[in-house]
Structure 1
C-alpha cells in the first residue's frame, strides 16, 4: 500500500463495555485547527470529558493519538496518551517514541487516534491486524510484568501495555511500549488504562510503500538530524546522560531528597560511567540519533538494561537517593519499568521518605545510599502493602497524608523532575505554567544556557531579572512544542521543523496550510489545554502553593549554595507570563484571546 497520499481523517472509537469498535470522521475544521496528536486530543477532551469526572471512573476516557506525519517523516515516530490524570486531577498528555507509533499508524492508515470508553468486565487487549480490529481476552496476562507481556506476543506484533502498577491503580502507573524500551511515563495514564481493564494495544502491520519524493525527503531529514543543533548532536553522542554533568556543575542536580544541588558521587553515574557500561545504542523508527543506551554496569547488581537509564532516572533514583552505584540505579530503573510505574515520581517518593526518616519525622528506617530500601519501597508501592498504599497515591497526596507537605517537591500534583529550580530559577516558570503539572519539558528553560556550557563552560543563563523577556521565551517555546507534539515529532529533532513549522512536509501529504497558520495553531492548542484545566490561580495563590521545601536554602556546596526561592520572584514571573499570554489575573484566556484563536465554541472548565 502506498501511503504517500492517504488522508488521515478518522478516529477509532472503542467501547470497552460492549466490545464495540467503530470508525468516525474527525470534524474537518479540527484537522486544520488542531493538526493531530496533542491538538486533536485536547479538542476531544474538551468536548467529551466532563470537568467533574473522577479519573478512575468509567466515564473518564483514554485517548491514544499520533500525528499526520507519524511513520512518514524522519523523527516522527511518537504517540501520546491523553486523559484526565488520577495524579493531578486535570489534563494529561504523556508521550513515547520507538517503533510502536509508526506501525500503529500503518495498521490504521486513515486514522489519527483511538478513543477508549467505559470499561471491560474482564481484562482485554485491542488487536489491530490486516483482518480488522478486535478486542481479545487478556486474562492470561493478569498482573503480567512488561517483560512478560513482551514474551506473550509474537515478534511481528508491536504493542503498548501496562504492568502490575497499572492493574493495581497506582496513580503514577505508566504505559510501556516496544517491550519496555519506551514509556508514556508521567501523570498516571497507566492507572486509567488499568481502571478500564485494558492490558494492551497490539498491532501487526508492515511498513508501506512511499513515493520517491517522500522517500528522498525523509532520507534528507534523517541525514541532517545529528548536526542540526548542539542539543541534537549531544544526544547523538551521549543520549540524555550528558545532562547530569551540566546540572551538577550548575548546582541544580536534585540530591538527597531534593535538599542539595550537587552530588559527590557524580563520576560514578554520569555519561562517562554510562559509556563504559554500554552494550549498544538504540534508535526509534526512522531516526539517526540513536540516543538510547543499553548498559551492563559493574557493581552490586547483575543487570543489563533494555534501554537506559535516562537522565531523569539516573538522578532521581541515583543522586536524589544518595546512590552512586550505577548498577543499583540501573536495577531500580528496570524494576520501575517492569512494574510499569513512573521512575521520576517513584524516585521523588523514595527520596522524600529517606529525608523524613533521616530527620526523624517517620517511624520507618530508610537511609540515603541504601538501594535495598529503595527496592523495598518500590515493591510495597506497586503491591500497595504497608506504607506502599499511601505512597501509591503519588508524592503530593502521600505528603499530605503523612502531614509533611512542606518537604515534598511537587507542583500541581506532579513530583518535580531532575532540575532543582533553586539552581535554575527560570524553571519556576516552567513548573508553574506547564499544562500537566511540574514537568520539565514545557518548556525546558534549564537548557537555555546549555550552548554556552558546551562551547565555553561559561554559564548558566538566568533571565529571572527580566520576567517579561523570560515569559516571552517560555511562550514562544510552549507554542512551538504544542505544534511539535501535534505533529508527533520528537523533541530532540524538532529543530528540523523550526524554520517553517512543518509547512513543507504537511503540504507534501496534502495539507493546505501555511507557516503562519501552523504558528497560530501552536498558540491555539496551548490555550485550549489551558481551558481544559480547571485549576486557575492568581500569581499570589500560585506563589503560596509553591513547594515550601524549595523556599529553603540549598545546602550543598557549589555555585547555588544557600539559594532559595522567594514568593515575590514567583509572583513577578507569573504576572509577566499572564500579561504576555493575554490571560486575566487568574490565568483564564480573555474573550478577545479566544476570538482571535477561534476557540469561542469550546468550554472553559472552571472550579465551581
Structure 2
C-alpha cells in the first residue's frame, strides 16, 4: 500500500506543501473522518474558535473513493464544530470526492484565511489559488455554473459567507450539511474548491476486487431495502413508518404522530410530485428524488427535511417543502438545524418569550424568513446561531431540541430510546448517523428491538456507532449498512413470529456485544456479505488485511479519537444528555417508559466502550487501540 497524498494549504500566505500520510497510519486510521479526526487533534491547538483564522479544515476521501465500489463517492469535511465546540465531521456525495481523487489528491488540510474571496483549484495534483471576488454573493447553484460541468465542485452560498452557524457546503446538489462546514469556509474567505483530473485508482487485487464488487452490487439490488424500498421512495418512505410508530417529530418534538402525515409522505411524493429517481456516482441504490421547483428539475427532500419542515412545524404543503429544500440548498444551510431552530422559535412565541413572526401552521412567510436568516438580517441573525444559543438568551432550554448544541434529526426519541442514547453520545451532537441510527432496529425498520425498552440498547448503540464510523471512513454511503437486517425478515414482515424473535435475539445478544470489543479482531476473524461486506472490499482495494473484526476495531478507534477531541475541548459527561422534554416528560402518559432514560443507559454505555464513570477512555482502552503512543 502506498502513502496517501495529502496537501497542506495555508490561505493566509498562499503556500502549499506536501503532507504524505504513511501506510502504517492508514492501516490504523484508514481515511475519511477517522484519519481527519486524528489530524484535527494533532494540528489544531486546544481552545481555538472554529471561525477564527487559526482553525483548520480537513477535506478528504476514503480509500474506496474512485474505485467503482458501490455507493463509494462520499467525501468528508472535518473541522472544529461551529455548533458544539467539539469535533465535526460532515459527509457528502456528489462528484467532488471522486474528482479530487482523480486529480491525484487524497486529502486537503486547509489553514489560515485568504485576504479576499478565493477559490482553490486542484488540477491534476497542482493546487492553484484563484480570485473568487466576482463570485461572492452568488448562491451555491449559480457559483457552480461558473465552472465546467466536468469539474468536481464544493462551494458555499450566502449563508456560509455570512457565517450562519449551520451553513453547509454544497457539491452539485448534495450537501455536507451538518455542524457548520459552510461557515468555516466562509470564515476563511474560501468560496469554492474545484477539482479535475483523470488518474485511475488501481485496486491492489483488481481481478478479485472486480468480481467481489459485482457480487456485492447484485446483493444490494436483491435486498428489499437497498434494492426496492429506497429506490421506490428514498428516505422519504420513512415518513409513514415513523408516524405509525410514534417517532415522527411533531410541533417541536411535543409529540411523535401527526394526523396529516400522509400529505407529506414518501408515497404521496412518489404519486404526485416525483419526476424520477436518481443517485450518486457508482451507487446502485438510486435513492435520490427528483422534483420540480419553479419549473426546474431539482433534488427532492430527504426524510429529515420532510419531517422537520412538515409535522414539526405543522406544515402539510408538500410542494412548499420541496421549495424550502431547494431554497435552503442554494443558500447553503442545513435543513435539520434550520427547521429545528425555527420550530423552537415558534414555541418561544407560544410561551411568550420571543416573537420572530413564526407560528406553528403558518407557512406564508417561511421562505422569506429563511432568506433573511441566510443573510443574517435582524432580528433573524439570532436564529442563524441555532436553538441552544437562542435558548441561552430567551429561555426555554427544556424544549430547545438539541444535543451538545446540534439540533436533533427527525426521529422523536421517546419512542426510540436507543436512538435517544445515540443522540446524547454522538460525538458531533444531535446526529442520528453518528449516534448509531438504532431507530432502524427500534421503530422504523422491520425488526424491532423494542421502542421504549432500554435493555440492550447501550450495547447495540456502541456496535452500530463503530460500524458506521468505519464504513464512513472507508468512503461508503451509510445506506449500504442497511443490509445488516436480513432480507428474509422484510419478506416475512414485522408481524411475523420469526421477525419478532430476531428482535428479541438482538437484545439477548447484549452480553456478547457488551464484552466483544477488547477481543477484537480475534472475535470476528472472518468476512461476510451479510454483515459488513465493506471490510473485504477495503482489503481487496488497498491490500490491507481486513476482517470484520479489524474493520470494527478501526471504527472503535475513530469513535474514541473523536471523543478525546471533545473531552479536550470541554465536552464532558455533563454534555451527554438531551433536553428535559425528552428525558423527563412522557410522550405517552400510559407508557411510563416513553422517555429517554439516560441515567440508566449511560453508565452501561460507558462501560461497554471501555470508558470510566466520567466518560473518559481508560488507559487500558487507549493502549488497546494504539492511541496512547499516537497522541503523545
Fold-level match, TM-score > 0.5? Answer: yes
Correspondent of 1:289 among 281, 285, 289 = 285
State how 1:156-235 maps to structure 2 within 5 Å: 156-178=150-172, 181-206=173-198, 208=200, 214-228=209-223, 230=225, 233-235=228-230
Root-mean-square deviation (Å): 2.4
Partner deviation per Cα, 1:147-196 (whole Å, 9 max, x = no partner): 11121112121201111110101110001102xx2111011011011111
Partner deviation per Cα, 1:86-113 (whole Å, 9 max, x = no partner): 11101000101122221221112xx431
Deviation for aligned residue 1:339:
0.5
Deviation for aligned residue 1:419:
0.6
Deviation for aligned residue 1:28:
3.5
**TM-score of the superposed pair, with normalisation by structure 1:** 0.90
1:127 paired residue number: 121
Deviation for aligned residue 1:288:
1.0
Q: How many residues align?
A: 578
The reply to whether residue 19 of structure 1 matches residue 10 of structure 2 is: no
- Distance, in Å, in 1 between the alignment partners of 2:259 and 2:296 is 25
Contact 2:416–2:452 (8 Å) recurs in 1: no
1:531 paired residue number: 564
- Distance, in Å, in 2 between the alignment partners of 1:561 and 1:107 is 58
1:470 paired residue number: 457
- Distance, in Å, in 2 between the alignment partners of 1:223 and 1:567 is 41
The reply to whether residue 33 of structure 1 matches residue 28 of structure 2 is: yes
Correspondent of 2:414 among 419, 422, 441 = 422
State how 1:354-369 maps to structure 2 within 5 Å: 354-369=346-361
1:549 paired residue number: 581
The reply to whether residue 447 of structure 1 matches residue 440 of structure 2 is: yes
1:3 paired residue number: none
- Distance, in Å, in 1 between the alignment partners of 2:315 and 2:334 is 18
Structure 2 CA distance for partners of 1:45 and 1:326, relative to 1, 3 Å: same
Correspondent of 2:310 among 303, 312, 318 = 318
- Distance, in Å, in 2 between the alignment partners of 1:256 and 1:279 is 30
Contact 1:424–1:460 (8 Å) recurs in 2: no
Q: Tell me, which stretches of 5 or more residues in structure 2 are unaligned? A: 484-527
State how 1:245-284 maps to structure 2 within 5 Å: 245-276=240-271, 277-284=273-280
Structure 2 CA distance for partners of 1:510 and 1:582, relative to 1, 3 Å: closer
Select between 334-343 and 227-236 the one with higher mean Cα deviation: 227-236
- Distance, in Å, in 2 between the alignment partners of 1:415 and 1:25 is 36
- Distance, in Å, in 2 between the alignment partners of 1:168 and 1:339 is 11
Correspondent of 1:53 among 39, 43, 48 = 48
Partner deviation per Cα, 1:547-588 (whole Å, 9 max, x = no partner): 123246467xxxx46668799921110011011111111100
- Distance, in Å, in 2 between the alignment partners of 1:567 and 1:460 is 16
Contact 1:21–1:134 (8 Å) recurs in 2: no
Partner of 1:372: helix, strand, or coil?
Answer: coil
Structure 2 CA distance for partners of 1:600 and 1:448, relative to 1, 3 Å: same
Partner of 1:199: helix, strand, or coil?
Answer: strand
- Distance, in Å, in 2 between the alignment partners of 1:264 and 1:50 is 50
- Distance, in Å, in 1 between the alignment partners of 2:331 and 2:364 is 17
Partner deviation per Cα, 1:223-281 (whole Å, 9 max, x = no partner): 33222463564212221011111110111111122212111221211011110211111
Partner of 2:380: helix, strand, or coil?
Answer: helix
Partner of 1:306: helix, strand, or coil?
Answer: strand
Q: Tell me, which stretches of 5 or more residues in structure 1 are unaligned? A: 1-5
Structure 2 CA distance for partners of 1:594 and 1:208, relative to 1, 3 Å: closer
Partner of 1:508: helix, strand, or coil?
Answer: helix
1:146 paired residue number: 140
2:233 paired residue number: 238
1:118 paired residue number: 112
- Distance, in Å, in 1 between the alignment partners of 2:124 and 2:598 is 54
2:99 paired residue number: 103
Deviation for aligned residue 1:44:
0.4
Structure 2 CA distance for partners of 1:183 and 1:131, relative to 1, 3 Å: closer
Contact 1:46–1:602 (8 Å) recurs in 2: no
- Distance, in Å, in 1 between the alignment partners of 2:621 and 2:227 is 35
2:503 paired residue number: none
1:62 paired residue number: 57
Structure 2 CA distance for partners of 1:89 and 1:565, relative to 1, 3 Å: farther
1:392 paired residue number: 384
Partner deviation per Cα, 1:374-414 (whole Å, 9 max, x = no partner): 22321221111122111111111112112222221111010
- Distance, in Å, in 1 between the alignment partners of 2:530 and 2:87 is 26
State how 1:426-437 maps to structure 2 within 5 Å: 426-437=418-429
Structure 2 CA distance for partners of 1:124 and 1:362, relative to 1, 3 Å: same
- Distance, in Å, in 2 between the alignment partners of 1:318 and 1:11 is 42
Partner of 1:368: helix, strand, or coil?
Answer: coil
Partner deviation per Cα, 1:94-151 (whole Å, 9 max, x = no partner): 101122221221112xx43110011110111111223732111111110110111121
Deviation for aligned residue 1:8:
5.2
2:623 paired residue number: 595
- Distance, in Å, in 2 between the alignment partners of 1:232 and 1:474 is 25
1:94 paired residue number: 90
Partner of 1:268: helix, strand, or coil?
Answer: helix
- Distance, in Å, in 2 between the alignment partners of 1:290 and 1:248 is 24
- Distance, in Å, in 2 between the alignment partners of 1:480 and 1:151 is 37
Structure 2 CA distance for partners of 1:417 and 1:581, relative to 1, 3 Å: same
Partner deviation per Cα, 1:4-44 (whole Å, 9 max, x = no partner): xx835221111111112222211332111101111210110
Contact 2:156–2:168 (8 Å) recurs in 1: yes
Partner of 2:382: helix, strand, or coil?
Answer: helix
Partner deviation per Cα, 1:413-445 (whole Å, 9 max, x = no partner): 101111111121222211111110111112111
